[in-house]
Chain A
Amino acid sequence: MRALAKRGRATRQVERRQEDGGLTEYLAFRVGSSTYALPVSIVREIVRSGTLTPVPRAPNGVLGISSFRGRVVTVIDLGGLLGVACSVVQPTSGPIRIPRLRILMIDVGQETLGYLVDDVVQVYRLAPRDVESATTVGSDVGAHVTGIARPQESGEVVLLLDPKALLP
Chain B
Amino acid sequence: MLTEYEEHRLRLNVDGGFRIYRLRVQFSLLTIDASLEQLKATAKPHGEIITYLPTGEGAGADSIELDILMASKRTLSELEGLLGGMGGVILEVPRKRRASEASASPSDLPVVEGHLPVYEPRGSSTSVHAEEDRKPRAPSSVPPPEGKLGTVRSVTQTVRVDIQKLDRLMNAVSELAIVKSSLDRLFDRIRPQSSDRRSVAELVRLSRTFDRQLESMQQGILEVRMVPLGQLFERLTRVARQVGRNANKQFNLVVTGAETEVDKLIVEELSDPLMHMMRNAIDHGIEPPAVRAAAGKPEAGTIALNAFQKGSHVLIELEDDGGGIDTERVLEVALARNLINPAEVRSTSRRDILNLIFMPGLSTRAEAGEISGRGVGMDVVKTNISKLGGVIDVQSEVGIGTKLAITLPITLAIMRVLVAEVEGHTFAIPLANVREAVQLSESDVFTVDGHEAMSLRGSTLRLARLSSVFELEAARRPTRTAKRFVVVTMAGAARIGLVVDQLVGGRDVVMKALGGSLRAVRGFAGAADLGDEQLGLVLDTPSLYEEIVAGDRRRVAAAAGRSA
Contact = CB atoms under 8 A, between A and B. Distances in A.
A58 interface: yes
Given A53-B536, A65-B527, A94 B512 contact: no
A129 interface: no
B247 interface: no
Interface string B455-478: 000000000000000111111100
A71 to B, nearest CB: 7
A80 to B, nearest CB: 14
Interface in B171-193: 171-172, 175
B473 A53 contact: no
Given A55-B524, A72-B527, A65 B518 contact: yes
A94 B471 contact: no
Contacts of A51: 533-535
B521 interface: yes
A53 B472 contact: no
A56 B471 contact: yes
B218 to A, nearest CB: 15
Interface in B513-535: 513-518, 520-524, 526-527, 529, 533-535
B423 interface: yes
A21 interface: no
B537 interface: yes
A74 interface: yes
Contacts of B470: 56-57
B517 A168 contact: yes
Interface residues of B, number: 34
B518 A55 contact: yes
A50 B533 contact: yes
Interface residues of A, number: 30
Contact of B475 (A50, A93, A110, A112): A93
Interface string A25-40: 0000000000000000
Interface in A34-76: 49-51, 53-59, 62, 65-67, 70-74, 76
Contact of A74 (B471, B515, B522, B537): B515
B527 to A, nearest CB: 5
B424 interface: yes
Given A51-B533, A67-B533, A72-B535, A93 B517 contact: no
B479 to A, nearest CB: 10
Interface in B417-446: 423-426
A111 interface: yes
A59 to B, nearest CB: 7
Nearest to B520: A59
B425 A92 contact: no
A106 interface: no
Contact of A110 (B175, B426, B476, B516): B516
Nearest to A61: B517
Given A93-B473, A93-B474, A95-B424, 4 more contacts: A58-B521, A76-B517, A95-B535, A168-B517
- Those 6 A-B pairs whose CB atoms lie nearest each other, nearest first: A94-B424, A56-B470, A93-B424, A74-B515, A53-B535, A72-B512
13 contacts: A51-B533, A56-B471, A56-B472, A59-B518, A70-B171, A70-B512, A72-B513, A74-B517, A93-B473, A93-B476, A94-B425, A95-B424, A95-B534
Interface of B: 171-172, 175, 423-426, 470-476, 512-518, 520-524, 526-527, 529, 533-537
